[in-house]
Structure 1
């Protein structure tokens, strides 16, 4: 989840060829066959772009370059495909910044109702619930987010923070480790894994 959690998204080509013996015996067609339809490259779709960005993020070992890739992933996540949803997300963001959390929730409730498959709507609402210390509701929205986008390192970071704040250090560690499996160069996740590992080792876990 971005607001606090950063401080806090295959094409299978089946080729069949006519055997040589069948080609030899086949009569020429009366008319030219229709041209084959070439599918768009995978990367031209939103999902294809995300898949490529996540692959790049996992390989990248330069922290600043990884941050740029992560920023492009956030840009993809923020694209709802609806002007009205985008506008409500902007209003919710402004209300959150002004700490008018109830107003932000009103907008975000509408977002997840109108577009329930938009992962970032759930993630943004989880952020607001976290800021209000409504941890149960925040975790429920995180669950929705991760169901729609299991690679959402922002939502996983939020989950890790909730686990840590509620005293579940082992679960927090596991959540941060999942973040690093997706985004290995996230500095905050690296620091948290190191700190929690030392704490748990000292406690005999």
Structure 2
């Protein structure tokens, strides 16, 4: 880990992981999403990918056309590399739709890309408080923890993702990388 990277406060990180791992997996409020998550756990690899995409589509719906437009604008700005504009759109989204987990998760990604790890971690915490099944947010948590040198905590987060989405390829790759880096031993 380079000296330039900000180090996350270990207490904050541990607190977030304690919250993450203590949330019941049945806390999801949407009946449709709950059914999709149950299907995802039991699905074969090809079917799991289809179900995961369906979950991601459902999670990206805020229930408001205006909020969905802010999410789209934020994602488009990130894709175009305009992270400042993305954060502005996504902040407007989280201000106006504070119960929309995908808005918080998307802004966390933008914050992480500009190196604002504290705000990114706070947004992931909020997203997971709203939707503890949000496997993309948990995967982002793992990536963020890995980025700042908390490999054991990253490994734990990635493992939690696979408990929800057993065939998440990027997470499987990340776990293989961590295991190889540490000789397959306990991290």
TM-score bracket, normalised by the shorter chain, equals 0.7 to 0.9
Q: Normalising by structure 2, what TM-score?
A: 0.80
Measure the CA separation in 1 of the matches of 2:41 and 2:100.
24
Q: Of residues 15, 22, 30 in structure 2, which corresponds to 1:47?
A: 30
Superimposed CA distance per residue, residues 85-104 of structure 1 (whole angstroms, 9 cap, x where no aligned partner) = 11111111111111111111
Partner in structure 2 of residue 173 of structure 1? 155
The CA deviation at 1:200 is 3.3
Contact 1:92–1:103 at 8 Å: present in 2 too? yes
Bigger fraction of residues in helix: 2
Measure the CA separation in 1 of the matches of 2:70 and 2:154.
32
* Matched length: 159
Q: Is residue 2:92 matched to residue 1:145? A: no
Q: Is residue 2:93 matched to residue 1:111? A: yes
Partner in structure 1 of residue 41 of structure 2? 58
Pair 104,163 (structure 1): closer, same or farther in 2 beyond 3 Å? same
Measure the CA separation in 2 of the matches of 1:148 and 1:64.
28
Measure the CA separation in 2 of the matches of 1:153 and 1:68.
15
CA RMSD of aligned residues (A): 1.6
Measure the CA separation in 2 of the matches of 1:187 and 1:137.
27
Alignment of 1:1-205 (within 5 A): 47-61=30-44, 63-201=45-183, 205=187
Unaligned stretches of 5+ residues in structure 2:
1-28
Unaligned stretches of 5+ residues in structure 1:
1-45
The CA deviation at 1:105 is 1.1
Measure the CA separation in 2 of the matches of 1:145 and 1:125.
10
Q: Which has the larger radius of gyration?
A: 1
Superimposed CA distance per residue, residues 131-185 of structure 1 (whole angstroms, 9 cap, x where no aligned partner) = 1121111111000000000011101111111111111110110010000000011
Measure the CA separation in 2 of the matches of 1:105 and 1:90.
12
